[in-house]
Amino acid sequence: MGRALLLSLASCLLVVSRATLIHRCDLAKVLHTEELDGFEGYSLSDWLCLAFVESNFNISKVNENADGSSDYGIFQLNSHYWCNDYQSHSENLCQVDCQDVLDPNLLSAIHCAKKIVSGSGGMRNWVEWRLHCAGRPLSHWMTGCRLG
């Protein structure tokens, strides 16, 4: 009984250790540097809310979907439309490998997210943003963050 519990705990720790988490204010600084504050009318708070509801600030998150596609990175970019994972059909509209979207420097993920937001629907392309961020007060996402 004790051995099974120990193995279970060990496997949980392995999963947790694979997560590459970024602190909210560190993400705000990167997004600010990449000129996302006000990009297509969206504030840094919108971007932070998006990253939280999609990945809980987990840069390395990969989520497999029922349709065979996967969602990648901090913004959960879908392999069917936005990036190529070489496992499912992809339109690869961002012209990027899905593995590149998982890079801790976030540049590939940000470049692709900017492309999505620039298109029709803006951030409304993300269901979780529509459900949890759109039309809500979001200024608290920047609380305590210094950009300078």
Instruction: Please tell me which residue in 46, 54, 85, 100 is annotated as part of the active site.
Output: 54
Question: By CB neighbour count within 10 A (0-12 exposed, 13-18 middle, 19+ buried), where does 25 fall?
Answer: middle
List the Cα angle 33/39/42 in 5-degree steps: 110
Q: Return left, alpha or beta for 102; rule: phi > 0 is left, psi -120 to 50 is alpha, else beta.
A: alpha
CA separation, residue 106 to residues 73, 98, 121 (Å):
9, 12, 23
Is residue 48 within 8 Å of 28, Cβ to Cβ?
yes
Does the active-site annotation cover 71?
yes
Does the active-site annotation cover 35?
no
Pairwise CA distance, residues 17 & 123, whole Å: 30
Sorted by sequence, the CB contacts under 8 Å of residue 113 that are 6+ apart come out as 47, 50, 75, 77
Instruction: Please tell me which residue in 34, 64, 71, 103 is annotated as part of the active site.
Output: 71
Known catalytic residues are: 54, 71
